[in-house]
Structure 1
Amino acid sequence: MPVFGALVRVRAAYRPVSSDHTSSASGAHTDVRAFVRGLFSHWNDVVHEIQHTRAVEGIRGLYRGSTVAFVQIVGETLLSFLVYERASVLGSTLGRLPHWVRVTGSSLVLTLMDLPFEVVLQRCAQLLSRDELRAPWRLYAVPGLLPAVLLRKVWTMGLFLVFPSVLFPRFVAVNGDATPGPEGSNVHTLSFSWAHLLGYVVWNGLSLVVALPLDCIITRLATQRDTQSYAQIDAEDTLNTPVARDAENAPDGAPDDQGEGASHAPPAVLVHLRPSGRPYTTMWDCLTTMLAEEGPTSLTRGAGVALAALLLEHAAAPGQ
């Protein structure tokens, strides 16, 4: 949770490139060097965000959204059990289908189930408006978000199910003995291969070329809001601050008790989001706008963390 929250803040931050930099004659070469140099340099930004959140909000701020994540994990585990456990009615029925059909179908269903949870978790860096809390299904209507999430899932699962099985064997090979064991089951041994592991890591790194920009786009689409939502959140924030409540309830003519010893609420961890005057309208609009306003490095934030997450996601894929 601390790493996830910090990664969201790093990707959601709006950092436009100055016009002087983009208009310079050596701008293209500078962009390429900055892109290569900054590909894995955002790990320091993630660590800094974790430290900043800990200093401002404490441990509670680091684990904001843990309840939502717990509900999400329980739902995913339950669905995986129903699909892959042959003892269940659904598992015995789906067991007749090809393996890749079951994995792909369950992954797409999980993606649709997870979308509201993912948006809520990513927006924990800010606040959800009351309308969004009352009607979470509205999060499916965030412009461009659903296509980006589905494309990301199809890309990662497609690469994992089709190409690695053809090009790279599993880095843990199963050697089966045709002779049944004492209890009637075959004896299997596991053998480790560094070559297969290297191929697995390289292939996941190549798949990150598409998955990483999609992750950054998904974060931007999930954290943006329209002008009405910004106004509602700002109004609720103002009314809920201790200073605003004290000023509202204080009698006329009362002295202003805001000296050095007055207690103030700790400053919120704010993410400098893109101005809401022209929100992203589609996934493609988000991609082109980020490239035009912030450069290619805006699509590579958190590459090291994303590669580690992709390796774990594929290694722990259900049914594998």
Structure 2
Amino acid sequence: MAGFLEFLFLAFTLTFSLVVSLGITVPLTGALVRLRANYNPRALQLDPEGNVNVHTGPIVTSFFGMLRRVYRIEGWAGLYKGLMPTASATIVMTGFAVAAMDSKQLARHGRVDPPDVGMLAALVYAAFGTLVSLPAAIITYRSIVTPYRLPWFRPIYSLRVLLTPTERRRPWVLYFTPGLVTAQVLQIAYSVVILYSLRRLLVPVGGDFSPARFGIYVAIEILSTAVICPLEVITTKLAIQRNHSAVEYNSVEQEVEDDAVEAPEYAEYSGQEEDVIGLRHEKDPYLGFADCVKRIIDEEGWQTLYRAWWVTAMAAVLTALAVGASALQTSGVVVGDN
């Protein structure tokens, strides 16, 4: 009976945490994804036929500027685009952590952050997180940047809007989206192999808490923004590219055949005649991880790789503080560095 009550309490705590977390983070994540996905080259570009392409996105340089723009054009409904895929991925990752690793914490969507377990278990968690996070990132980011209104409780309809016929017929092609697996693996490898190892070394759970070692860990988390932020930007830009099988087009361009999906746009309801962001033309996609990095730097400038870097840095600080609080709670004694 006591075990059942403990399970109910854990379920209630995680559910409450999920609701509060999604209510706060989904609008912020939506603005962040849009800001990083917005395509705004510094000069006129040539399309594959050699014609001048003047398609650019709106000039929005700040996170809060994008947040205001989303609200102005799409309203509250636009702020919560991506809610359902975010909730689904978080529930799956949390369920796996609770069932397989006896975790009592809510998993974070968008960053594979293992619970306090052994290194082998952390690698298993990271591998499972890779399988889940890649399609979750694709569906979530596309649902955020799409101009179409997607119903929350009609997933099949929404997937018809977000995925091409090829992706719906062969879902595994999502894992072959050029460059995306590389970006995801690099990000997870850095987070798990490097940051997680340093966390266990500098801030061990159940060991003596050292303020000096904790300060070093916080500094490392902040400095890691230089690595993680570009990977997040690259992941965002690659995830919104769609795969198809038309031989006369590149493998990540728009399907030639009509998707046969008619969906209302936000502009029809808000009376606005402009999109929130501009996207790269689908006939001139990024061909892989290295190509994406090169073209971002050449076309938009290296600063694009660090859009909203302070958001990544703030997330790192919050993660470090949560780790420190957990370690301090279980240490029992606070001691100085020997």
Instruction: Please classify the TM superposition score into its range, dividing by the shorter chain length.
Output: 0.5 to 0.7
Q: 1:218 to 1:313 in 2, by over 3 A?
A: farther
Q: TM-score, normalised by structure 2?
A: 0.63
CA distance in 1, matches of 2:267, 2:231: 41
For the pair 1:293 / 2:293, whether they are aligned, the reply is: no
Describe the SS at the equivalent of 1:228: coil
CA distance in 2, matches of 1:155, 1:196: 20
Q: 1:303 to 1:232 in 2, by over 3 A?
A: farther
1:85 CA drift (Å): 2.1
CA distance in 2, matches of 1:240, 1:292: 36
Which among 153, 162, 165 is matched to residue 128 of structure 1? 162
- Structure 1: which amino acid aligns with 2:298? A
Equivalent residues of 1:280, 1:286 under 8 A apart: yes
1:232 CA drift (Å): 4.7
**Could you say which residue in structure 2 is the equivalent of 1:170?**
203
Equivalent residues of 1:142, 1:222 under 8 A apart: yes
Unaligned stretches of 5+ residues in structure 2: 1-25, 45-58, 104-116, 147-160, 243-251, 328-338
Unaligned stretches of 5+ residues in structure 1: 20-41, 87-97, 176-190, 245-262
- Structure 2: which amino acid aligns with 1:302? A
CA distance in 2, matches of 1:55, 1:296: 29
Per-residue CA deviations over 1:226-268 (Å, capped at 9, x if unaligned) read 44349857x856x756999xxxxxxxxxxxxxxxxxx885446
CA distance in 2, matches of 1:243, 1:44: 23
Equivalent residues of 1:172, 1:192 under 8 A apart: no
Which among 281, 285, 298 is matched to residue 287 of structure 2? 281
Which among 228, 235, 240 is matched to residue 254 of structure 2? 228
Equivalent residues of 2:86, 2:140 under 8 A apart: yes
RMSD after superposition: 3.5
- Structure 2: which amino acid aligns with 1:293? E
- Structure 2: which amino acid aligns with 1:155? Y
1:130 CA drift (Å): 5.0
Per-residue CA deviations over 1:201-226 (Å, capped at 9, x if unaligned) read 21012222221111111111011234
For the pair 1:82 / 2:99, whether they are aligned, the reply is: yes
CA distance in 1, matches of 2:168, 2:27: 23
Per-residue CA deviations over 1:100-159 (Å, capped at 9, x if unaligned) read 010122122112112111111111211614524565443222111112101110011111
- Structure 2: which amino acid aligns with 1:162? S
Superposition pairs of residues 1-320 of structure 1, within 5 angstroms: 1-18=26-43, 45-85=62-102, 99-124=118-143, 125-126=145-146, 128-129=162-163, 131=165, 132=167, 136-166=171-201, 169-170=202-203, 174-175=207-208, 193=211, 195-225=212-242, 226-229=252-255, 232=258, 236=261, 240=264, 265-267=271-273, 269-313=275-319
Q: 1:103 to 1:271 in 2, by over 3 A?
A: same
CA distance in 2, matches of 1:105, 1:172: 20
Higher relative contact order, chain-length normalized (CA < 8 Å, sep 6+): 1
Equivalent residues of 1:164, 1:203 under 8 A apart: no
CA distance in 2, matches of 1:85, 1:72: 18
1:312 CA drift (Å): 4.1
1:316 CA drift (Å): 6.1
Equivalent residues of 1:156, 1:207 under 8 A apart: no
CA distance in 1, matches of 2:310, 2:267: 42
CA distance in 1, matches of 2:36, 2:184: 16
Q: 1:115 to 1:81 in 2, by over 3 A?
A: same
Equivalent residues of 1:171, 1:192 under 8 A apart: no
CA distance in 2, matches of 1:45, 1:230: 36
Larger radius of gyration: 1
CA distance in 1, matches of 2:174, 2:206: 42
**Could you say which residue in structure 1 is the equivalent of 2:6?**
none
1:196 CA drift (Å): 3.9
Per-residue CA deviations over 1:182-207 (Å, capped at 9, x if unaligned) read xxxxxxxxx673x4443222101222
**Could you say which residue in structure 1 is the equivalent of 2:7?**
none
Q: 1:72 to 1:164 in 2, by over 3 A?
A: closer
Q: 1:230 to 1:243 in 2, by over 3 A?
A: farther
CA distance in 1, matches of 2:257, 2:69: 26
